[in-house]
Amino acid sequence: MMPEIFEPKVVAFCCHYCAYAAADLAGSMRTQYPSNVRIIRTPCTGRLEVPYFLKAFERGADGVLVAGCLEGGCHFSEGNLFAKKRVLAASDLLGEIGIEPDRLKMVNVSAAGARLIADAITEMVETVRKLGPSPIARRAGRTA
């Protein structure tokens, strides 16, 4: 009997204007990326607060990717800069409670960045696969 290979669950919060459009373009171009990512479209990553990231882990995610517009190109002026600060704060918080900060990452892509978003998703899945299942998801009972 072969051992079961760990397939991480990754949640990707993608801004509507750039990152979600890039993921949609990746699908249209048939660009391959792991299917174990769940993309959640948000109006702007600047609307995401730290509890959103923590709740994703609590609900069973092994990793969280935040994907926003290019820096300086946010459709809501500085939303992605606010998100970047929140992601850094949440990463620090994860580290303080004994969870690997690499489980949370932010990337910036343009709407034409189909390959970039696919690569970011693939990299995130590989990173989380190496880290193993989330201790939070194990304790809370996997549901995501």
Determine, yes or no, domain membership for 2: no
Structure tokens at 24: 């949609």
Longest dimension (CA), the chain: 54
Q: How confident is the model at residue 77 (pLDDT cuts 50, 70, 90)?
A: confident
On whether residue 5 sits in a domain, the answer given is no
Of 133, 20, 6, 25, the residue nearest 66 (C-alpha): 20
pLDDT at 51 over 60: yes
pLDDT of residue 74: 86
- Summarised one tens digit per residue, pLDDT across range 55-73 is 999 999 999 999 999 988 8
What pLDDT does 133 receive?
A: 93
Report the distance separating Cα 34 and Cα 37, nearest Å.
Answer: 7
Structural domain contains residue 142:
no
Domain that includes residue 14, residue range = 10-135
> Given this model, what pLDDT does residue 36 score?
92
Rounded Cα–Cα distance for residues 37 and 41 (Å): 13
* 84 membership: H or E segment, kind and range: helix 79-96
CATH (domain of 30): 3.40.50.960
Tokens 């990173």 belong to which residue?
A: 127
